[in-house]
Structure 1
């Protein structure tokens, strides 16, 4: 009996030790996965990447870095250097972007910002204020416009959009583009700035000015803008073939480009949008190399998303792998949080696939919720969906609310659901063959 007891204790100790080892391996793996995502995002958001935009070659620097990560992950290149090149026009601000009021330098992105289609401007902006409530008064508008065009007491018009009802704002917001054909325009606002990218230049610049600055004081401006009519950039494409001989392919996509620089002193890091999705793309490449599935997997980091989904459009028109071989595409855009779950664009279109995703989430108790949205042209999944490829665009919801601003930084991301998202997406792929596909809803 004594020996039996000793043997029982020994077996129990071995089992306990084995469970502990498995738990520790899983914990270390999860920690490493989060740390690796942080490493990639931090690098992509660093100043030397220049906001991954169109000044100082920021997008090309990012593309080279992603290609090196694909290579380290063991992905095959289907194109030379993992790259697919294309070109487009883009307005850039490579030189000075300096603004002064009362001798004080204004902070770009905080106090003042420039419409992305603005041309160069060098001079003193003296503005007359046009209340938004009077925009539909043709006589008042003509009076202000003639005053600004004369250049005697002012040379620009400032439209005061403070305290405008959202419905009214929708009606009159584009009026600035009518006025800017004749004179520079200033938009006075009490809202945070959101920037973008343009492929053309206006006749005159448009500036957005925070209401605290807009006291009628003239603004000294030095703005250098260059319209690059043929900016050359590249998608980054990596391939992980299945161990089995199959044509069935899964595609993971994320855009790596962002807004770049507004002058040499200000850049937009683009941590959540979309260094986070790019980091997840690389994390999934590493995961599936270690956990093979019965699909070929294509990983694409797109350029040109911020200027109109151009990288994904180019790929769909010039596919490296036939589109008809794609079983499903998952586009990852804004992946830096997740405390409040995720939203799935096309969730109400590909119903059976959405049901699989939610079933996995419920079974494994991963995310707080998975919300469904319909068909939308709001990220790189769009061109694939229109070409008949079943696709989801997934984005996280959580504490980070920064979007297209200078505060979308590495430090403001929580990385709360990196591990759960990896588990969710990996399990979705592993079980994809179980989906009984009916007629998709449009």
Structure 2
């Protein structure tokens, strides 16, 4: 993977980021700059599409979005994702780079370049080889601590153990906070409840494919190993590496009684700075359980660490300041159910 602008080799994940669904590109670009009118004016926009479909002079376009914000930025980025169906697209940005998982492959290349890394852009040359793996097998990992007295009532702890992998051969996304931290807490809670049993079965679910669209947890809810109706409560743990500013509880508005129980424990024990309430969201592995009628919270920490889906989300960047207090809070919550 190599991107050069005016003879300068750009640094991947620092100067440029290839979209996870990007196609391949090995060429010297004959780029066409996109004007503001072509982004925001419907008539000019249609002329642009007609021009690119019929004009053989250009094999790529460049869209500079550095001066756009909010809805204007969304519209400019949406145009980039539309034009990649016709040709290679470079987006000049000053936004922080983040990565994700592609579930399709565009016919052409789409890359984002930091404006501060380039100058005139007289010549652009790319060597990007993108391979789409249509089938990839991953596995959920599930363990159980049965209650000492036989019961169907079950508490589930979940966390996804996948992350983003790499971009090319030299860029690696560690996923320290998202979600090695949640996976480690899953193991920590397994140790705790082994030594401190409760009158419920405790099941630990480490899901694959969360970053690809909650694939592992969706599969489990469609192919459960025991009745979903036996789940008394599910606690999904994601981004557990800080906590200086407390935690946020997704689904708090759906299950106010359980949320208030968490808050009461925290106030009594003086564990965390705050427990923030948030409504339902399809943003982690609790979601498909909730859709199936399982009471569930998704808990994540708030704090100084803002690294997310980037190369700086490392173990060294995590504080784990409230890790043990969160464990105490969760343990007390389960015992009170």
Bin the TM-score by the shorter chain. Answer: over 0.9
1:169 corresponding residue in structure 2: 73
Report whether the alignment pairs 1:185 with 2:85.
no
2:189 corresponding residue in structure 1: 284
Cα pair 2:5 2:118 within 8 Å, conserved: no
1:140 Cα deviation from its structure 2 partner: 6.7
Take 2:327 and 2:334, find their aligned partners in 1: how far apart are those partners?
11
Matches within 5 A, 1:181-330: 181-215=85-119, 216-330=121-235
Take 1:183 and 1:387, find their aligned partners in 2: how far apart are those partners?
42
Cα pair 2:140 2:205 within 8 Å, conserved: yes
Cα pair 2:3 2:127 within 8 Å, conserved: yes
1:122 Cα deviation from its structure 2 partner: 1.2
Secondary structure of the 1:419 match is helix
Report whether the alignment pairs 1:346 with 2:238.
no
Cα pair 2:207 2:217 within 8 Å, conserved: yes
Mark the structure with the bigger radius of gyration. 1
Q: Identify the structure with the greater helix proportion.
A: 1
2:320 corresponding residue in structure 1: 415
Normalising by structure 1, what TM-score? 0.73
Secondary structure of the 1:135 match is helix
Normalising by structure 2, what TM-score? 0.95
Q: Show CA shifts across 1:79-103 (max 9, x none).
A: xxxxxxxxxxxxxxxxxx2222333
Cα pair 1:337 1:416 within 8 Å, conserved: yes
Secondary structure of the 2:326 match is helix
Take 1:145 and 1:220, find their aligned partners in 2: how far apart are those partners?
25
1:167 Cα deviation from its structure 2 partner: 2.4
Q: 1:124 and 1:377, CA in 2 relative to 1: closer, same or farther beyond 3 A?
A: same
Report whether the alignment pairs 1:374 with 2:299.
no
Higher mean C-alpha displacement, 101-110 vs 179-188: 101-110
Cα pair 1:253 1:299 within 8 Å, conserved: yes
Cα pair 1:255 1:278 within 8 Å, conserved: yes
Report whether the alignment pairs 1:386 with 2:288.
no
2:302 corresponding residue in structure 1: 397
Q: 1:321 and 1:102, CA in 2 relative to 1: closer, same or farther beyond 3 A?
A: same
Secondary structure of the 2:140 match is strand
Cα pair 2:221 2:228 within 8 Å, conserved: yes
Cα pair 1:127 1:148 within 8 Å, conserved: no
1:236 Cα deviation from its structure 2 partner: 0.7
Secondary structure of the 1:142 match is helix
Matches within 5 A, 1:23-102: 97-102=1-6
- Within the candidate set 107, 125, 128, 2:29 is matched to 125
Take 1:144 and 1:110, find their aligned partners in 2: how far apart are those partners?
31
1:89 corresponding residue in structure 2: none
Take 1:140 and 1:390, find their aligned partners in 2: how far apart are those partners?
47
Cα pair 1:360 1:424 within 8 Å, conserved: yes
Higher mean C-alpha displacement, 281-290 vs 115-124: 115-124
Secondary structure of the 2:333 match is helix
2:335 corresponding residue in structure 1: 430
1:139 corresponding residue in structure 2: 44
Take 1:108 and 1:144, find their aligned partners in 2: how far apart are those partners?
30
Take 1:128 and 1:348, find their aligned partners in 2: how far apart are those partners?
49
- Within the candidate set 15, 18, 36, 1:111 is matched to 15
Cα pair 1:128 1:156 within 8 Å, conserved: yes
1:105 Cα deviation from its structure 2 partner: 2.5
Alignment gaps of 5+ in structure 2: none
Q: Show CA shifts across 1:43-71 (max 9, x none).
A: xxxxxxxxxxxxxxxxxxxxxxxxxxxxx
